[in-house]
């Protein structure tokens, strides 16, 4: 790999004579590993997969001179000067803590990018909606003529291309709590879509989760901007923190003095109570009130940067992101939607409501209780009570699959007890051990006018490597169903 001259080359060269470990040889870290090895840096690749499981990637790293520390013992003896951690590895891991206590520097690919990035940065985080909001912001900027670099949890690993980024460009990044927990530099514009219990199977508690998210704005300066959701109790209270720069709110329930809000179906931008109409919410092509919220957040992020005309053009044309309420096909009057990204109960609830509530008069949407829902996977330690209530209220039939099947079934059973006359004689619940069987079963249960929706409310890690793999298999199976 050719290393471009400039900041990146100097940064990589700074590790010569040091021992560097890169933990996790996934999509984001692989370009970093290649850069280090090309510069002849003493590099150890640590990954919980075995040599055989990594396959060609392991062979390639070894040929380039990497030390390999793979399999169950991949975190043993981290006797190095610098560790680049994968986002999924928490800094509280005992092996990491031990190394840091001995003087090892802990960092990450994203932290390095923020140190080197020469252009304005926009970061988006939240429990739900961050991927769509990040993508909308990038689309808004592109439609306004800006050069955009999309990264973080989505897009391209940005560190490896940092020397190609110009000062007038804009980097838009989606940031998870796992990435943010060790960040010591914040983006110039920080957006927090919402916060609710999430990833509590990894974070020690809700307080740690909320604190990790706050790193997206806590290191800003007076020239920066923070955008918070006024309708969410946690994010609305963030303003009480040490926010150094401009604060804008977005809301679909209340008028805001500075920011963007929804009132009587119209989206307004407000500055010191002087409001300007941007557009009618019904013209947003993406279905669901949660996508209206995503646009409110996005408009607030780019106000003063993107024209209202570009905002309207984007909202009327942007079809969304794959695996996020992605329309797959219509067959025999049944519409199939892939919402594999919905790895939490709250995100799955948003997907169900998007397809059962007429928030957009220009979109064809299914009627109440016409959804055949496919749900299940690995749970995050979050209660399914609200999800169960939503299923009982809005879902026609439920197909369960994956490790959390029992937990979801229990939540649905409790909800049925609370509403014995509401839905108990209609809701059909079946269980399939195999994911393919679950999709086929859902298609058989659906009738013309129904929707088959994959919105799992769980992670994919019991059956798949990630939610993309789950969503792609869903689409593959659906597209193979014959008339």
Tokens 């988006």 map to which residue?
Answer: 124
Q: Kindly compute the dihedral angle of the four CA atoms of residues 404, 410, 411, 414, in this order, to the nearest 10 degrees.
A: 180
Residues 354, 287 contacting (CB under 8 angstroms): yes
| Nearby residues of 251 by Cβ (< 8 Å), 6 or more positions away | 229, 230, 231, 259, 261, 262, 296
Assess if CATH 3.40.190.120 describes domain 326-480.
Answer: no
pLDDT in tens, the chain (483 residues): 333 448 899 999 999 999 999 999 988 899 999 999 999 999 999 999 999 999 999 999 999 999 999 999 999 989 999 999 998 888 889 999 999 999 999 999 999 999 999 999 999 999 888 889 999 999 999 999 999 999 998 878 899 899 999 999 999 999 988 899 889 999 999 999 998 865 556 656 788 888 888 999 999 999 999 999 999 988 888 877 778 999 999 999 999 999 999 999 999 999 998 999 999 999 998 888 889 999 999 999 999 999 999 999 999 999 888 888 888 999 999 999 999 999 999 889 989 998 886 544 334 444 458 999 999 999 988 999 999 999 999 999 999 999 999 999 999 999 998 876 554 457 999 999 999 999 999 999 999 999 999 999 999 999 998 999 999 999 999 999 987
Distance between CA atoms of 419 and 153, rounded to whole angstroms? 40
Nearest to 343 by CA among 461, 433, 434: 461
Check if 111-317 and 326-480 are the same fold. Answer: no
- The second-level CATH assignment, the architecture, of 111-317 is 3-Layer(aba) Sandwich (3.40)
Tokens (6 digits) for 3: 């290393």
Q: Cα 209 from chain centroid?
A: 15
Residue 420 confidence (pLDDT): 64
Residue 201 confidence (pLDDT): 61
**Whole-prediction pTM value?**
0.77
Distance between CA atoms of 75 and 93, rounded to whole angstroms? 10
CB atoms within 10 A of CB 474: 27
DSSP class of 218: T
What are the C-alpha distances in Å from 410 to residues 131, 347, 398?
30, 19, 13
Q: Cα 97 from chain centroid?
A: 27
Residue 425 confidence (pLDDT): 53
Residues 481, 452 contacting (CB under 8 angstroms): no
Domain ranges of the chain: 7-107, 111-317, 326-480
Residues 261, 295 contacting (CB under 8 angstroms): no
Distance between CA atoms of 17 and 437, rounded to whole angstroms? 54
Tokens (6 digits) for 312: 């309207």
Assess if CATH 3.40.50.300 describes domain 7-107.
Answer: no
Tokens 């920066």 map to which residue?
Answer: 224
| pLDDT tens digits, one per residue of 282-325 | 999 888 888 999 999 999 999 999 999 999 999 999 988 888 88
**Helices 385-394 and 405-418: angle between axes, nearest 10 degrees:** 60
């Amino acid at each position: 790999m050719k290393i471009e001259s400039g900041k990146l080359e100097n940064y990589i060269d700074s590790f010569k004579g040091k021992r560097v470990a890169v933990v996790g040889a996934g999509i984001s870290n692989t370009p970093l590993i290649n850069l280090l090895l090309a510069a002849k840096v003493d590099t150890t690749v640590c990954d919980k997969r075995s040599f055989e499981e990594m396959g060609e990637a392991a062979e390639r790293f070894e040929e380039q001179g990497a030390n390999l520390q793979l399999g169950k013992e991949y975190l043993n003896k981290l006797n190095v000067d610098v560790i680049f951690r994968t986002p999924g590895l928490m800094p509280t891991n005992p092996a990491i803590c031990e190394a840091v206590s001995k003087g090892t520097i802990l960092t990450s690919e994203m932290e390095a990018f923020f140190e080197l990035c020469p252009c304005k940065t926009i970061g988006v985080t939240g429990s739900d909606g961050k991927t769509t909001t990040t993508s909308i912001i990038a689309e808004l900027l592109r439609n306004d003529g800006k050069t955009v670099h999309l990264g973080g949890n989505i897009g391209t690993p940005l560190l490896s291309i940092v020397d190609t980024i110009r000062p007038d460009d804009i980097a838009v990044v989606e940031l998870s709590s796992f990435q943010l927990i060790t960040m010591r530099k914040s983006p110039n514009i920080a957006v927090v879509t919402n916060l609710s219990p999430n990833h509590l199977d990894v974070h020690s508690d809700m307080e740690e989760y909320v604190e990790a998210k706050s790193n997206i704005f806590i290191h800003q300066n007076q020239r920066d901007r923070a955008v918070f959701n006024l309708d969410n109790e946690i994010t609305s209270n963030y303003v009480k923190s040490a926010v150094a720069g401009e604060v804008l709110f977005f809301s679909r329930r209340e008028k805001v003095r500075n920011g963007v809000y929804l009132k009587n179906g119209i989206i307004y931008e407000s500055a010191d109570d002087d409001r300007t109409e941007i557009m009618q919410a019904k013209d947003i092509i993406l279905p669901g009130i949660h996508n209206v919220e995503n646009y409110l957040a996005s408009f607030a992020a780019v106000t003063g940067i993107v024209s209202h005309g570009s905002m309207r053009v984007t909202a009327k044309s942007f079809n969304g992101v794959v695996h996020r309420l992605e329309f797959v096909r219509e067959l025999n009057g049944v519409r199939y939607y892939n919402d594999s990204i919905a790895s939490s109960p709250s995100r799955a609830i948003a997907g169900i409501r998007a397809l059962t509530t007429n928030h957009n008069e220009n979109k064809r949407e299914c009627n109440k209780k016409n959804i055949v829902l496919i749900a299940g996977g690995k749970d995050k330690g979050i209660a399914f009570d609200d999800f169960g209530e939503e299923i009982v209220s809005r879902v026609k039939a439920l197909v369960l699959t994956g490790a959390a099947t029992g937990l979801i079934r229990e939540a649905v059973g409790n909800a049925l007890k609370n509403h014995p006359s509401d839905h108990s004689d209609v809701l059909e619940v079946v269980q399939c051990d195999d994911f393919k069987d679950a999709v086929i079963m859902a298609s058989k249960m659906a009738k013309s006018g129904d929707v088959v929706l994959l919105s799992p409310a769980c992670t994919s890690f019991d059956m798949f490597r990630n939610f993309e793999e789950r969503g792609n298999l869903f689409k593959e199976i659906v597209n193979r169903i014959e008339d």
